[in-house]
Amino acid sequence: MFEFFNGRQMAAGRGERGFNRWDWFLLPLVLAVLAAAAYGAMQMARPFVLGQPTPISLDVVQLPYYLLRTILRMFMALGCSLLFSFVFAAVAAKYRAAEKILIPLLDILQSVPILGFQAIAIAPFIALFPGSLLGVECAAVFAIFTSQAWNMAFSLYQSMRTVPDELNEAARVFCLSGWQRFWRLELPYAMPSLLWNMMMSMSGGWFFLVAAEAISVSGQDIKLPGIGAFIAVAIEQENGRAVAWAIVAMLAGIILYDQLFFRPLLAWADKFRFEESQGETAQRSWLLDWGRRSRWVSRLADRFWAAMRATLGWFGTAGRPAAPARAPGRWQRALPRLWDIGLAIVVLAATLRLIVYVHSVVGWSEAGHVVLLGLATLTRVMLLIGLASLFWVPVAVWIGLRPRYSQRVQAVAQFLAAFPVNLMFPLVVFLMVSLHLNPNIWLSPLMVFGTQWYILFNVVAGASTIPTELRLAADNLGLQGWLRWKRVYLPAVFPAYVTGAITASGGSWNASIVAEYVTWGKTTLAAQGLGSYIKQMTDAGDFHRIALGIGIMCIFVMLLNRFFWRKLYVLAGHREI
């Protein structure tokens, strides 16, 4: 567990010179990926003037280029999300005072719709890069970042809080410093779950891609070359053929980066599983097998990890034994209370400011109406999360315990999770208008269509890390049926499920803006709910009511997380189920 990379897997290439056949297989692939990335990056810095039209062609020939631009933005956002997750999880898990601020803050950030982030960020980014398309590209990357980061941060935080006691004791025995502990214990332990959540975050980026690449600012519509803008134009023109080709391009892109990026990482991270033998749960990747047989890749990997060890001190000298704990002084005992009092004052001040804003700007009747709409959306969210949990938890455990099936459904699950709900608008509008269905009921499933996969991915990750020894012990004890689920499977996946349910809940609130207000051409269907209210106020340009809707949504999400999901988080940390 304390080794971040198994050097024996690279030893085959040491001391050998020249190229072998695996080198000749990999070299064109690597060069093609680098050339495509360089070309796409160059196109992101083209000259741009606000107000200049940015036409998007629905010609199928342009789809590979649009796919390249979209995937580049998503991987840039994924890299930023990963760095954010490292910092957030490390600080929140290690410092209780910081945790009291960061976790509620993440609840708020998760509940703010992507339209809210975009409205704030687009003008500063354009001003930061005047005369260049790079400012708009940065705004799009930031918007995608807001759909990826929170899930990954929650996952890493949860994993760091649930490191097994025996590993914590081993870290104390080896006198690891805080830096060494993070890189040599906590991050390796969290790696399998983090990778599955990175896949889910990539899919979440696809889900909100239309909003990220089709930007409205100062009365101007800016559409960046990409799949999201392609879909937006196809919906505006009611072009079903273009929508179908966009789905094909999405599937091709997901399969491509699954095979070239996520599948090798999952196979590589299999050694971080907390057990003595991998057994039948080992992941496989053809690209990773090629890399291990390639001489130049092996030498490059040797040099890379040597540089990382030297830079980060993963294998540096262990720290000194911890000094005996001293009894806390008077100020040390009083500091947590002072901190809590300060937080309470800040919350009280924010509440008073909200009351003044409602009283003087929008009125109490409007605020009460929005609260009722929030209760309607809350009912939909909780009902849909409950139904999705009943279905996907057993399915995810079954998949996670059978890696041969896990690898087969991996790309399919990513595609379904990435499928933008906007692409379902033609079918939804046709069926609801033809059958005269109630939008308040039948638009609801769209809210959970893109967020239920958070539950699936997290529980698959949790089930895949169940040690083989534990499963064999359950077999020896004769645990079967519900008793096996109650004593083995549910306790093992419960922390991962809570992480997935929290992010699915927050994502459902965000998705309500898209799901409760459906438009196809000139036909519009709207359900009564907070998401529909925010979308209608955004179209009308009513800033005060947009702020009211977003504020009420943040309050609902914070209260739900604080009094329901956080209780489950504490329960998951103690493994008391």
Question: What does the pLDDT look like over 267-301, one tens digit per residue?
Answer: 888 777 665 444 455 667 888 888 888 887 788 87
Work out the angle at residue 102's Cα, subtended by the Cα atoms of residues 98 and 104, and round it to the nearest 5 degrees. 125
DSSP for 134-191, written as a single string: HHHHHHHHHHHHHHHHHHHHHHHHHHHHT--HHHHHHHHHTT--HHHHIIIIIHHHHH
Average pLDDT over residues 180-189: 85
* Structure tokens, 154: 């929650």
Three-class SS state of 223: strand
pLDDT at 52 over 80: no
pLDDT at 571 over 80: no
* Structure tokens, 19: 């190229």
- Residue 63 or residue 487, greater confidence: 63
pLDDT at 319 over 60: no
Query: What's the pLDDT at 576?
Result: 43
Looking at 194-203, 256-265, 339-348, 497-506, which range is the least confident one?
A: 339-348
Q: 3-class secondary structure for 65-96?
A: HHHHHHHHHHHHHHHHHHHHHHHHHHHHHHCH
Provide the whole-model pTM.
0.75
**Strands 517-520 vs 214-217: parallel, antiparallel or unpaired:** unpaired
- Residue 478 or residue 255, greater confidence: 255
Query: What's the pLDDT at 84?
Result: 94
- CB-CB contact of 130 with 42 (8 Å): no
Query: What's the pLDDT at 428?
Result: 79
Domain ranges of the chain: 61-273+342-574, 285-316
Query: What's the pLDDT at 9?
Result: 43
Going by C-alpha positions, the residue among 338, 388, 378, 342 that lies closest to residue 558 is 378
Average pLDDT over residues 8-29: 63
Question: What does the pLDDT look like over 440-450, one tens digit per residue?
Answer: 888 888 887 77
Question: What does the pLDDT look like over 441-482, one tens digit per residue?
Answer: 888 888 877 778 888 888 887 887 787 777 788 878 877 878
Query: What's the pLDDT at 115?
Result: 66
Helix, strand and coil in the chain, % to nearest 5: 80, 5, 20
pLDDT at 114 over 80: no
CATH topology of domain 61-273+342-574: MetI-like fold (1.10.3720)
pLDDT at 51 over 90: no
Three-class SS state of 321: coil
pLDDT at 306 over 80: no
Query: What's the pLDDT at 323?
Result: 47
DSSP for 464-506, written as a single string: HTS-HHHHHHHHHTT--HHHHIIIIIHHHHHHHHHHHHHHHHH
Which residue type occupies 470? L
Question: Where does the pLDDT of residue 88 fall: very low under 50, low under 70, confident under 90, or very high at 90 and above?
Answer: very high
Looking at 28-42, 189-203, 309-323, which range is the least confident one?
A: 309-323
- Indicate the average pLDDT of the chain: 79
